[in-house]
């Protein structure tokens, strides 16, 4: 309750929560396309490539206003993404190697510039190092307004070119055959993604920003097969991660907001990997267990049917040992027979043997008929 009260009435916490929520909303929505296009590491490369642009923007203007530094970060990050694309298409260097080259070169250059700036005798450069790991507590209302406006521009572009970006993500060859400018669309989507990344560098930092792009989308992918649902879920998970990280950081002394946001996003990913329907590990384990149990039950039922065919009587019982020998070893049939009895497909006899029922007979004949049709196909 204290955190909720602070969120509503504490100016700093409310400002940070609004800024990180807007950031998570934009980066989560755009991150869905990066994940679907298997370009998750592009966010890492762009965020690191933005560092020299931040420092150069400060050197050229002498201003530490967020809009100025974001403009420099955008130019540098966009240039880095173009270099990655050109290396991929004009050389034999693999895509992951191209990302690594651009990340290392741009980030190294940025660190050199940052070291130079910090070594200057004046104090005007103080605070630029916050872009390495983020410092959301320094956000003010003007910074939040910049994040909201630029994030809104990124989301508006996403909605405006929704069909084109969808085609680009799933079947660019088909899109090219229809006459769509796939190269330009790829550049446009990359540009929007770069914009969504650079607006969060002050809050999360160049080192961790890629996680806020990838994690919400990875979590959303576990819950749905629909692109639209995935994008909105990813945006929601990103916004929730931002708010939870801000609350956690606000309630814990000495905990930076950026890492807290990333850890909150990681928690959402973990829950999604475990409990998401159809794809979650818990769901998958339960489903496979049911499938194995169904296969064992069908196998024992088929064995009872085969024994019935030999003896020709529904009252002729067969011992558990015989059924074990025919199935998967000791104990296999004993676990399955009560299940068959519950379904009405088998029944125990007074001498502790088991016999197939009329209903089980029809079930077994249906299973064998379907198996025969499947083999013929």
pLDDT tens per residue, range 257-297: 788 888 999 999 999 999 988 888 888 888 888 888 888 88
Q: Find out whether 326 and 292 touch, Cβ atoms under 8 Å.
A: no
The predicted pLDDT at position 141 comes to 83
Give the integer Cα–Cα distance in Å for 45 and 79: 11
Q: Name the residue ranges covered by the structural domains of the chain.
A: 2-208, 283-376
Give the integer Cα–Cα distance in Å for 102 and 78: 11
The predicted pLDDT at position 123 comes to 47
Q: Find out whether 250 and 13 touch, Cβ atoms under 8 Å.
A: yes
pLDDT tens per residue, range 96-125: 788 888 888 998 998 888 888 877 766 455
To the nearest whole number, what is the mean pLDDT of the chain? 84
Q: What is the mean pLDDT of residues 44-58?
A: 88
Q: What is the mean pLDDT of residues 194-220?
A: 86
Residue, of 220 and 326, whose pLDDT is higher: 220
pLDDT tens per residue, range 146-161: 889 999 999 999 999 9
Contacts of 164 (CB under 8 A, 6+ apart): 175, 180, 185
Quick one: tokens of 259? 């890492």
Number of neighbours of residue 137 by Cβ within 10 angstroms = 17
The predicted pLDDT at position 186 comes to 87
Q: What is the DSSP letter of 134?
A: -
Give the integer Cα–Cα distance in Å for 211 and 201: 12
Quick one: tokens of 332? 């296999």
State which of 84-88, 233-237, 253-257 shows the largest mean pLDDT. Answer: 233-237
* Residue 126 reports pLDDT greater than 70: no
The predicted pLDDT at position 352 comes to 84
* Residue 137 reports pLDDT greater than 50: yes
Residue 348 backbone dihedrals phi, psi, to 5 degrees: -80, 145
Which top CATH class is 283-376? mainly alpha
Whole-prediction pTM value? Answer: 0.80
Give the integer Cα–Cα distance in Å for 271 and 29: 19
- CATH 1.10.3470.10, applies to 2-208: yes
Q: Widest CA span of the chain, in angstroms?
A: 101
């Amino acid at each position: 309750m204290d955190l909720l009260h602070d969120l509503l009435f504490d100016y700093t916490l409310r400002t940070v929560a609004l800024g990180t929520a807007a950031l998570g909303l934009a980066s989560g929505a755009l991150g869905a396309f990066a994940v679907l296009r298997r370009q998750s590491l592009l966010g890492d490369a762009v965020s690191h490539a933005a560092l020299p642009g931040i420092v150069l923007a400060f050197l050229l203007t002498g201003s530490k206003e967020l809009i100025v530094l974001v403009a420099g970060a955008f130019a540098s990050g966009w240039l880095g993404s173009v270099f990655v694309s050109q290396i991929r298409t004009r050389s034999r260097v693999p895509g992951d190697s191209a990302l690594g080259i651009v990340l290392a070169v741009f980030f190294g250059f940025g660190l050199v510039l940052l070291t130079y700036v910090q070594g200057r005798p004046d104090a005007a450069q103080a605070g630029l190092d916050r872009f390495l790991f983020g410092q959301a507590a320094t956000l003010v209302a003007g910074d939040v307004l910049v994040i909201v406006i630029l994030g809104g521009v990124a989301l508006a572009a996403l909605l405006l070119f929704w069909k084109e970006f969808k085609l680009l993500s799933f079947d660019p060859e088909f899109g090219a055959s229809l006459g769509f400018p796939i190269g330009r669309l790829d550049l446009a989507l990359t540009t929007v993604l770069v914009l969504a990344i650079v607006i969060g560098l002050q809050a999360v930092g160049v080192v961790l920003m890629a996680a806020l792009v990838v994690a919400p989308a990875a979590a959303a992918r576990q819950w749905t097969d629909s692109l639209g649902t995935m994008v909105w879920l990813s945006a929601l998970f990103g916004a929730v991660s931002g708010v939870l990280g801000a609350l956690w950081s606000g309630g814990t002394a000495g905990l930076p907001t950026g890492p807290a946001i990333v850890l909150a996003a990681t928690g959402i990913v973990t829950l999604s990997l475990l409990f998401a329907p159809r794809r979650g590990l818990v769901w998958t384990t339960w489903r496979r267990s049911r499938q194995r149990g169904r296969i064992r039950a069908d196998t024992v039922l088929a064995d009872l049917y085969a024994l019935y065919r030999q003896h020709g009587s529904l009252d002729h019982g067969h011992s558990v040992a015989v059924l074990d020998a025919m199935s998967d070893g000791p104990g296999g049939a004993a676990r399955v027979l009560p299940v068959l009895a519950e379904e009405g497909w088998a029944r125990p006899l007074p001498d502790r043997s088991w016999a197939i029922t009329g209903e089980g007979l029809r079930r077994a004949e249906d299973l064998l008929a379907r198996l025969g049709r499947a083999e013929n196909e």
